[in-house]
Structure 1
Amino acid sequence: MKATINDQPRVTATDSAIALIEEIRRDHPDILFHQSGGCCDGSSPMCYPAGDFVVADHDVKLGEIAGVPVYISATQFEAWKHTQLIIDVVPGRGGMFSLDNGREKRFLTRSRLFAAAT
């Protein structure tokens, strides 16, 4: 799996998301993201301390944002493989187990189809 499609990263982040990542890393220096597949917290990008989340053999690493790895399950990757994920921040409460919870802002995944090669 390539980390880019037509020289576009599979995952990127807004400035707001990068600022929240930096805020979280002051308390938890080693973190990772896993794109949730639905269940308890919808389809939010979940942010975990790296040592508290076991990346499964079937998880796919999409890339990194602000030096933080971003993973997605293989089945969800298959459905979204033509889509660039854009991690953003909106007001609200984060997922119950995500490190953005309690900060009155939460991560949100936006997406767009990859542009065709020119």
Structure 2
Amino acid sequence: MVDKVIATQATIELIGVLKQKYGPKLIFHQSGGCCDNSAANCYLEGEVMIGTADVKLGEIGGLPFYIGAQQYEYWKHTQLIIDVVEGGHGGTFSLEGPEGKAFLTRSRLFTEDETMALSLAGRL
């Protein structure tokens, strides 16, 4: 099975820190309103409204990962790779900011075989 969203080891480790600090009820959401659409944001469950237009791509570090419908249309042919960079900024609503880090979304195009598998499974 092809994952539509995956996380680097650095992301998994930071998720562990955030779970210890804030508890296990966290979610990720990526919308089109910030950072050239390259920032996945981590929130406490209930801090952001997940709507019917949001698409659940999967889970990373045991946490659900959603993306806005318009963003999904743009990114649906790519696998999102959630990474961590140093230098979180104070203006973020995402929970990792105070840790001096920021989540960053990288991507790669699905191969033809992966695209076919996703299509056959009704996931594209």
TM category (shorter chain) comes to 0.7 to 0.9
8 Å Cα contact 1:89/1:107 also seen in 2: yes
In structure 1, the residue matched to 2:48 is 53
In structure 1, the residue matched to 2:70 is 75
Task: Give runs of ≥4 in structure 1 deviating > 2 Å.
Answer: none
Q: Secondary structure at the match of 2:97?
A: coil
d(CA) in 1 for partners of 2:95, 2:36: 16
d(CA) in 2 for partners of 1:36, 1:93: 18
Post-superposition CA distance 1:87-114 (Å, at most 9, x none): 0001011561100111111110000001
Moved more, 64-73 or 93-102: 93-102
**1:111 maps to amino acid:** S
d(CA) in 2 for partners of 1:27, 1:56: 27
More strand by share: 1
Corresponding position: 1:100 with 2:96: yes
Shift of 1:38: 3.1
8 Å Cα contact 2:32/2:70 also seen in 1: no
More helix by share: 2
d(CA) in 1 for partners of 2:111, 2:64: 23
d(CA) in 2 for partners of 1:78, 1:71: 13
Please list every run of 5 or more consecutive structure 1 residues that lacks an aligned counterpart in the other structure.
1-6
Moved more, 19-28 or 90-99: 90-99
In structure 1, the residue matched to 2:106 is 110
RMSD: 1.5
**1:13 maps to amino acid:** A
d(CA) in 2 for partners of 1:25, 1:31: 7
